[in-house]
Structure 1
Amino acid sequence: MRPLSSQPPLLCAAVLAGLLGASAPAAAEGLDLALTTAVGSADHVRKHGIVLGWTRPRPLWQGEQWRLMLRHEAELAAWSVPRARDLVELGYSPVLRLERPLSGGTSVFFVEGSIGARLLSHTRVSAERRLSTAFQFADMLGLGWQWGRHGHSTLGLRLQHISNLGIKRPNPGIEFVQVYYRYRF
């Protein structure tokens, strides 16, 4: 049997949906699924993932042109680590998203940010580099555009920093530039 990190993304989606899909609140606007790809800042690390998300139906705050939404995201990602064993990332992030509807409400521009938790299958990211703990935090800032009937499609760009916030030294962390496409059901 191949390790989980080399399984196709659809298998990862099925596992994630099975583990977390039932826990999505019934009041959410609906589940969405995102495919992600990211490039790491160190040791040629890349990651590909699947994010199962849901959005609180009502804004946390509503202004005349902007609104603040709360999303929940559960991520399963496989890291491709060229000079070490590939690893698997499992995480959860509450995401605050500041949205501005455009062109009659059929599309939305947004900026987003989050601090979430991650669990890694192991900590080595190269022959010379190791993250000091399997438990990590993930800080993220991003922007994107949502479009389509009822906002079914989203394209976004995120900058993500993963580190253990000083739980154990050294704390090298790693940064990713991530692109994602999300579809809401």
Structure 2
Amino acid sequence: MKSRKLTWQARSAPGAVIVLCAFCTAGARAENSFGIQIGPGVAAHDVKKLDLGLVWDPGLQWWHIGGYHFTVVGEGHVAYWKLDAADAVYSHIWEFGVTPVFRFIKDTGWFKPFIEAGVGIRFLSHLRQTPDRATSTSFQFANMVGVGAQFGEHGNYQVGFRFQHLSNADIKQPNPGMNFSQIYFQYNF
């Protein structure tokens, strides 16, 4: 038993070192490594949302195609839902989660347009929205697609539009899902 454990550790150590070095190198070459994001959104059933996000850009780039490249950023979110329905059981719901976001963005220039997509996880503070509308789990998946642009001399500003779908992927019923249309503004440090 002991020899198996040592063998596994010996095999996994080089992989862990390579991953650690890749992240340290990527973080060191990033121009704008962190950003803060704010985004209002709306959904059906009289739901309004205000989302605050912290964004980490490790500076990874791959597949340079025609002056554009792919990249990935990590986002952490805290959002506040306001339900304006007259029969709202909980008129204030909190949403917490993380999402890796993949982008296809222009390489250089003062104005860099992009398209983006991501799948993350969310946790909701309350399951019931109205007497006849509830999610069965606090755990939700957050699928998102969007368009936007990063601009400014150092790429400090960003604006975008996203369509986001939250649901538990039928882990448990009911699973009504929620679709948000959201604009966002971001400042990169």
Fold agreement, TM-score > 0.5: yes
For 2:71 and 2:89, the matched residues in 1 are separated by: 39
**2:62, 2:167 → 1: CA distance?**
29
TM-score (norm 2): 0.79
Residue of structure 2 equivalent to 1:9: none
When structure 1 is superposed on structure 2, of 75-84 and 91-100 the one drifting more is 75-84
1:77 to 2:86 alignment = no
Choose which of 85, 103, 110 in structure 1 pairs with 2:114. Answer: 110
Partner of 2:16: none
The gaps in structure 1 that reach 5 residues or longer are 1-24
Give the TM-score of the pair, scaled to structure 1. Answer: 0.81
Verify the 8 A CA contact 1:45 1:125 in the aligned structure 2: no
CA distance in 1, matches of 2:135, 2:165: 13
Aligned to 1:49: 51
Q: Aligned-pair distance for 1:37?
A: 0.5
Q: What root-mean-square deviation, in Å, do the aligned CA atoms of Structure 1 and Structure 2 show?
A: 1.4
For each residue in 1:70-112, what CA deviation from the matched residue of structure 2 results, as whole angstroms up to 9, or x when unmatched? 01000000110222321100010000001124xx611100000
Q: Does 1:36 align with 2:39?
A: yes
Question: Gaps spanning 5+ residues in structure 2: where?
Answer: 1-22
Q: Amino acid of the residue matched to residue 81 of structure 2? A: W
**Count of residue pairs brought into register by the alignment:** 158
Bigger Cα Rg:
2
- Which segment drifts farther, 55-64 or 72-81? 55-64
Runs of 4+ deviating beyond 3 Å: none
Q: Percent identity?
A: 35
CA deviation after TM superposition for structure 1 residue 137, in Å: 0.1
Q: CA deviation at 1:63?
A: 2.2
Residue 187 of structure 2 is aligned to residue 183 of structure 1: yes
Displacement after TM superposition at 1:170 (Å): 1.8
Is residue 136–residue 163 contact of structure 1 (8 Å, CA) maintained in 2? Answer: yes
